[in-house]
Amino acid sequence: MPTFVVEADGGSRGNPGPAGYGAAVIDAATGETLAETAEYIGVATNNVAEYKGLIAGLRAAYAIAPDATIRVRMDSKLVVEQMSGRWKIKHPDMKPLAAEARGVFPPSAVTYQWIPREKNKHADRLANEAMDAGRRGEQWEASTSAAGGAGRPAQEDETRVVGDATAGAAKARAALAGGRPASAPAAVVDAGTTAVTATPAVGWGTSADLGAPTTFVLLRHGETALTPEKRFSGSGGSDPGLSAAGLRQAEAVAAALAARGTIQEIVTSPLQRCRQTAAAVADRLGLDVRVEEGLRETDFGAWEGLTFGEVQERHPDDLAAWLASTKAAPTGGGESFATVARRVTAARDRLLTASPGRTVLLVTHVTPVKTLVRLALGAPPESLFRMELSAASLSAVAYYADGNASVRLLNDTAHLRS
């Protein structure tokens, strides 16, 4: 029966704010790092992130050896004392997380030890790498980590540990059917070793009632003259206004949103077509409009104003590269989808911090809407090419205090058909 040391670090840059986690599983006998896991988890509090870091580390250990004896070491006094049974868990958001942590291994197989913050360098670095990746609109990858690496010996003696006071935790929910969590998928880091990478929550799980989420209602602007011709129209072109059809669409969606009565704030891209669409809604709802630069459309470079066929004819190699990778930019200095994802992620985090628990209408474009949906689902970048988004359509994403997100609506155009 093996004995593992689980080191976990969790925290939030803002409390609540953008959060991430890092955790490592170490062989107590040899000091070898057996697995690492890290992930950006969106907006969450320090305490939620700390508990999720613990859950992520325990799940990583369980994936290696379900019969292992576990020594958890953290620099979170709160988690260590509560999980050891010496402090009561009073906050309702923490109770289900603690229960989930207890459900990974039999309680008799796990002990908890508090250690000073300076002993947590390995997992602390993992956690910060995950939060930095999230800020760029990316997911943490074991292959790019500088924290330590599975298969390498621990850097200090057995008292070395990673705490969780200021970095974050994985989305570690029990699977749909409940019971013991399924093993997390693994990614090869060094020959003969693996690093467990956390995955988003699956199914309903056992999440707490974390109160009202922050909800972004995502409105793509109405049509311009370029829309029905399916021409590239980003932030690097002529900045067209709404066509007559687009103005009618804006009025229709404004009426629909007024009937729902749920919008509390309006934020728009700086481009004219979005400003006009936002103005129609604002006039109907009696709200002000804020401009967020991060919500502008992709700069399509030399492709602005061209159809797909025209780009195929003029720039076939560049188009092929663009379709094959979200890191490829359009001809002539445009933005890659990866670059746009970093920009949109930063805008999302600013808006979540500014409007907690509110329902906010974001009037924006195809790429930002698809990016926000993709990130909420934890879907791969290629999914951008597999979503349909009509002019003046509505989508919605809810963001919860524990860092989870839920896509509630996608490409709704019912208001345009009435």
Q: Which residues are the active-site residues? A: 221, 297
Calpha distance 171→156 (Å, rounded): 28
351-387: string of b/e by CB count within 10 Å (b at 16+)?
bbeebeebbbbbbbbbbbbbbbbbbbebbebeebeee
CA neighbor of 26 nearest in space, from 79, 81, 64, 66: 64
DSSP structural state of residue 330: P
Written as six digits, the tokens of 188 are 């090869």
Query: Contact, 169 vs 53, CB < 8 A?
Result: yes
HSE-CB at 79 with a 13 A cutoff on CA atoms is 36
Query: Contact, 295 vs 320, CB < 8 A?
Result: no
DSSP string, 37-75: EEEEEEEE-HHHHHHHHHHHHHHHHHHH-TT-EEEEEES
Distance from chain centroid for Cα 104: 24
Query: Contact, 116 vs 75, CB < 8 A?
Result: yes
Written as six digits, the tokens of 141 are 């990858």
Query: Contact, 42 vs 88, CB < 8 A?
Result: no
H or E element in which residue 195 lies: strand 194-196
Distance from chain centroid for Cα 105: 28
Phi and psi torsions of 103, nearest 5°: -85, -5
Lookup result for tokens 């804006």: 250
